[in-house]
Structure 1
Amino acid sequence: MNGNDYINLKFKNDNISAINKPKGTHILAEFYGIEESFGLTENYLKEKMSLFVKQANLFELGNIFHSFGENSYTFVICLAESHFTLHSWPEDNYLTLDIFVCDYKKDNKEKAFDLFEKVAKFYNPKHIEKKIIYR
């Protein structure tokens, strides 16, 4: 560690109250029992998820879909506000969801909740475990 590192750490400690303010909303969820939604095509999933992003008034910058075969996939949408990801395990009828939106210049948490509700309704899981983190 050199002298400049110490100065940077000291600056952060001096401004800790500003740093510790929540900057966004992070929704982490697990969907159990989603067998009805498997068998959907990549294009259909991309269209639906992109539509849900738009309907939630979030801005999609781009997306990546990777298929592992047999309805197992990772899907990432990069948002101007941050990101939205899905990961599926069809052998377990299980899917994870991750939505993070930052609150740069405005509070976007309701948009994150809206997107979550749209995706949950689409997959129609038998059980959801959800964690919300304001960070």
Structure 2
Amino acid sequence: MSGGAHRPAGIHLLADLAGIDAALLADPEAIDALLREAALAAGARILHSHFHSFGTGMGVTGVLLLAESHISIHTWPEHGFAAADIFMCGAAQPQLALEVIEDALAPASRSLKTVARGQL
């Protein structure tokens, strides 16, 4: 490779979101819709989704498969906590997806790790 820094294959965001209203974390259909909205805001192309509820008032786990990689989430309504994993390559902008998720869930706090993938 000549000159310049190697561009990463993608950006992987790992977000821990806390202090969320439990009602926002227990509905798999609403979480599916939220992640779809987030993916589209990021400029990603949705391929498939699968979400699972652990029961009434319980958490949800799910993944949105993207041409650019994925968005996944696991929620704990009883603790007001969600862990989101957003990995996108190409021109997609995972930060925009995270903004949509945070706007909807309105966490009181967050911890974010950003990893550049594909830099060997």
- Normalised-by-shorter TM-score class: 0.7 to 0.9
Q: CA deviation at 1:36?
A: 5.2
Q: CA deviation at 1:55?
A: 2.6
Provide the identity percentage.
29
- The 8 Å contact of residues 37 and 123 in structure 1, kept in 2 or not, is answered as no
- The 8 Å contact of residues 20 and 80 in structure 2, kept in 1 or not, is answered as yes
Q: Which residue among 86, 91, 94 is the counterpart of 2:78?
A: 91
Aligned amino acid, residue 11 of structure 2: T
Q: Which residue among 19, 24, 27 is the counterpart of 1:38?
A: 24
Equivalent positions of 1:116-135 (< 5 A) are 116-135=98-117
Aligned amino acid, residue 109 of structure 2: H
Higher helix share: 1
Equivalence for 2:43: 57
User: Match of 2:107, SS?
Assistant: coil
Equivalence for 2:97: 115
User: Match of 1:133, SS?
Assistant: strand
Unpaired runs of 5+ residues, structure 1, are 1-14
Task: Give the TM-score taking structure 2 as reference length.
Answer: 0.82
Aligned amino acid, residue 117 of structure 1: E
Q: How many positions carry a matched residue from both structures? A: 112
Give the Cα–Cα distance (whole angstroms) in 1 for the partners of residues 65 and 88 of structure 2: 10
Q: CA deviation at 1:131?
A: 0.4
Q: CA deviation at 1:39?
A: 6.2
The higher radius of gyration belongs to 1
Distance 1:51 1:85, change over 3 A: same
Unpaired runs of 5+ residues, structure 2, are none
Distance 1:40 1:74, change over 3 A: closer
Q: CA deviation at 1:21?
A: 5.3
**1:76 pairs with 2:58:** no
CA-to-aligned-CA distance 1:10-42 (integer Å, 9 cap, x gap)? xxxxx9xxxx75211000010010025436532
